[in-house]
Structure 1
């Protein structure tokens, strides 16, 4: 059976990963954010939480943030240039 609109499809995978308390909290968060599709809501919440974790880690550990470099190899030798826009 093929569905023409994804909104009509229920994503039952979420029920397998969450217990009832977690599922209730997830559905409440979906309702607050006016999200109807569970797959889209889960993806959005996971991405937002991942970005929060990365930002918090980089704030607490600034030395772990990678600095982008560009390496030039010239005939007489090579050198490395730090990209000041990405620091």
Structure 2
């Protein structure tokens, strides 16, 4: 099935990712566990909030590229305070 531009879908990434699920499920016991699936929304919450904020910034007309570095610095400080507390 072609894309909107008429080119076929790239199948390389799909072919590369197909062997990952069986190999990772064999390598670790907890890969396909219920807790693993519950962990996915916890991990994408921060990125979702950042994406909504960046969407508003881009719609207004300003582009701020420092969001990723501010997030990284915030997580490093939070990790440090978590270990030291």
Indicate whether the TM-score tops 0.5. Answer: no
More strand by share: 1
With structure 1 as the length reference, what TM-score do the two structures score?
Answer: 0.30
Which gives a bigger RCO, structure 1 or 2 (Cα 8 Å, sep 6+)? 1
Q: Which has the larger radius of gyration?
A: 1
More helix by share: 2
